[in-house]
Structures are given as structure tokens and as C-alpha cells.
Amino acid sequence: MNEHPQPILPLDEDLNSALGFHVDEVEIGRVTGHFDVENKVRQPFGIVHGGAHAAFAETLASVGTFRAVAETGQIAMGMSNNTTFLRSVNGGRIRAEAIALSQGKTTWVWDVTLRDEQDRVCAVSRVTIAVRERRRA
């Protein structure tokens, strides 16, 4: 019998918590989430750090893949993250939607679109997640 891989970190200590990331909905092939623009996601000049967009896209794609494959005991590992920044954001809430373009046996490819408070696209990301067998202890 397969057992679900379990998170090993206290949930309030990981990167998602450090940056204030929230996952809202998880369906097969679709994940949404949001984060608020506070200083912890800004670069020194006050706009959202590009890495925050990239990291949030990575989180949504990883969660979406993991939830789908975990029941067979598999894990999800990020392979690549290609994020393009279209509009700088100073404040408000950023909402994102991740859609799986392909759901393969060994890799899932996601398109993630991030929008600002006015619903304008501020960044897009293509994230590839590998599906791997969990290594036994």
C-alpha cells in the first residue's frame, strides 16, 4: 500500500510562509492562489521582486502536481521555471492561476498567470515539474 508523502516542515516556517503565499483552490490541472504585496516580497526600490513572482508560480505548479500524484506515492520536483515580467507592481494583492498544459507520467508543464489588483497580467510563468518515485528511506 502506498502512503502519501508527508510534509516535514512546520507549515509556518517554509518559504511560502516567509513570503505570505496562499494556495486557494486545487483541482486536477488547475491551481489558484494569492499573496499580498508587503515589504517581504519587494525588492529595495519598492516593487515586487521578480523572484516572488517566480517563486509563487513554482509553488502553485508544485502543489498542483504533487496533489495529483501523491496518492500513488510519487513526488513532484521542480525542473525549470521560466518567468517573464510584464508589469511592475507596487502594492495590493496578486492573484495567480496555474493551468496544466500537459500531465505526463514523468513531467507536468504548467502555465501560470499572475495578475495585479486591477486584474492586469503582471507576470507569466512556464513551470515544468518532474514526477518521480519517492526514494525509500
Strands (DSSP E) contained in 28-120 are 30-36, 74-85, 93-103, 107-115
CB of 89 to a copy of itself, least distance (A): 12
- Quick one: 3 or 13, whose CB is closer to a copy of itself? 13
Q: Does 82 bind a copy of itself (CB under 8 A)?
A: yes
- Binding of a copy of itself by 65 (CB under 8 A): no
**Contact with a copy of itself (CB under 8 A): which of 31, 54, 94, 114?**
54
Asked whether position 72 contacts a copy of itself by CB under 8 A, the answer is no
Q: What are phi and psi of 68, to 5 degrees?
A: -80, -30
Number of amino acids touching a copy of itself (CB under 8 A): 56
Write down how long the chain is: 137
CB atoms within 10 A of CB 20: 15
Pick the closest to residue 11 from 59, 43, 72 (CA basis). 59
Query: Of 102, 127, 113, whose CA–CA distance to 34 is shortest?
Result: 113
H or E segment to which residue 80 belongs:
strand 74-85
Is residue 97 involved in binding a copy of itself (CB under 8 A)? no
Catalytic status, residue 71: no
Q: Is 30 in the site for a copy of itself (CB under 8 A)?
A: no
**Rounded Cα gap, residues 61 and 98, in angstroms:** 6
Task: Please give the residue ranges that form the binding site for a copy of itself (CB under 8 A).
Answer: 5, 7-11, 13-19, 39-46, 49-52, 54-59, 62, 75, 77-88, 101-102, 106-107, 109, 111, 121, 124, 126, 128, 130
